[in-house]
């Protein structure tokens, strides 16, 4: 396993440095941190400014005493309320995460614990999809979903996103199962625990970290995906947040409502940031699973 962890708190073990250097280092590091944070903070603060000033430059960005949710509420003018589109995004993201975890769990178990004809071929087939960008198969994917009655459907989008997540997740779950000692399973089998029960009661708790990582990546990627949602959804009521906000940004009555854009961007970003801060370890584990192997 990898030793990398963003939150790793170890004693500062670099003695013997001149403190001038250290101060310089921390000043630089804080400045860089400011550069990374400013856009995120700026948009969040600006989204609470009143409508009247949303067309003015955000200097300063804070709304002062006039903090208001106007910009959020006004998104209702674009069809449904912001909650509706957030729910669409959430359905797609959670659905993708759940389906990905379920399918990858089964596949990882199958690849790790069984021998069957064409197993290497099947494994390579699933992994090789990572080599081919989905952007290049978007056109037929659209026709295919149309034929299946799944175009313009959140469920269709979930199926597509899940497929895109599979190479990473199946690889992740196979490794997770590989690291579980065979003896545990054998012991359970002798106790009479078999089949799905064995997988569910015995194995799942042991591969849970891998499942969390797979689910987290699936959630974030589905929540943020834009191009496929843009092409595959045609009914505004079904739009996910990125597609809706792009329409808002392109102006509706021949006017861009920047306040609404700020509100939308904030709603899109915050869940990702919170999830990341809570599950940082799982995220970084997933990221470095490919890097250090």
Residues in 230-259 that interact with other proteins by CB under 8 A: 231, 234-237, 242, 245-247, 249-256, 258
**Residue of 20, 56, 65, 120 that binds other proteins (CB under 8 A):** 56
**C-alpha–C-alpha distance, residues 247 and 250, integer Å:** 5
Counting contacts by CB under 8 A, is residue 81 touching other proteins?
Answer: no
Report whether 63 contacts 48 (CB < 8 A): yes
Nearest approach in angstroms of CB 65 to other proteins is: 21
Counting contacts by CB under 8 A, is residue 94 touching other proteins?
Answer: no
**C-alpha–C-alpha distance, residues 39 and 166, integer Å:** 33
Q: Work out the angle at residue 113's Cα, subtended by the Cα atoms of residues 208 and 5, and round it to the nearest 5 degrees.
A: 35
Q: Within 188-227, which residues bind other proteins (CB under 8 A)?
A: 188, 190-191, 193, 202, 205, 220, 223-227
**C-alpha–C-alpha distance, residues 107 and 113, integer Å:** 10
Options 40-48, 63-71, 207-215: segment touching other proteins (CB under 8 A): 40-48
Residues 6+ apart with CB under 8 A from 40: 269, 273
Residues 6+ apart with CB under 8 A from 253: none
- The interface mask with other proteins, positions 121-160, x = CB under 8 A, is -x--xx--x-xxxxxxxxxxxxxxxx--x-xx------xx
Copy the structure tokens of residue 27.
């000043």
Counting contacts by CB under 8 A, is residue 283 touching other proteins?
Answer: yes
**Residue of 14, 16, 18, 21 that binds other proteins (CB under 8 A):** 14
Nearest approach in angstroms of CB 150 to other proteins is: 9
């Amino acid at each position: 396993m990898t030793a990398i962890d963003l939150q790793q708190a170890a004693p500062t073990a670099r003695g013997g440095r001149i403190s001038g250097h250290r101060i310089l280092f921390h000043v630089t590091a804080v400045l860089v941190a400011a550069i990374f944070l400013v856009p995120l903070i700026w948009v969040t603060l600006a989204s609470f400014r009143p409508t009247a000033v949303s067309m003015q430059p955000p200097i300063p960005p804070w709304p002062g005493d006039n903090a208001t949710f106007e910009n959020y509420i006004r998104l209702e003018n674009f069809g449904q309320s912001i909650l509706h589109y957030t729910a669409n995004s959430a359905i797609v993201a959670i659905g993708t995460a759940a389906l990905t975890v379920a399918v990858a769990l089964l596949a990882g178990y199958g690849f790790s614990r069984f021998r069957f004809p064409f197993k290497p071929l099947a494994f390579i087939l699933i992994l090789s999809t990572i080599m081919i960008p989905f952007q290049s198969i978007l056109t037929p994917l659209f026709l295919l979903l149309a034929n299946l009655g799944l175009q313009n459907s959140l469920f269709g989008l979930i199926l597509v996103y899940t497929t895109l997540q599979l190479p990473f997740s199946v690889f992740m779950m196979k490794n997770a199962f590989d690291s579980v000692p065979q003896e545990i399973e054998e012991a359970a089998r002798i106790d009479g625990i078999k089949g799905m029960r064995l997988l569910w009661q015995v194995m799942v708790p042991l591969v849970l970290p891998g499942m969390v990582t797979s689910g987290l990546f699936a959630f974030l990627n589905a929540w943020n995906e834009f191009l496929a949602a843009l092409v595959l959804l045609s009914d505004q009521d079904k739009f996910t947040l990125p597609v809706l906000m792009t329409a808002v940004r392109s102006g509706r009555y021949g006017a861009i409502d920047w306040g609404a854009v700020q509100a939308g961007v904030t709603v899109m970003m915050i869940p990702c940031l919170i999830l990341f801060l809570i599950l940082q370890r799982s995220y970084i584990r997933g990221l470095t699973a490919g890097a250090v192997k």
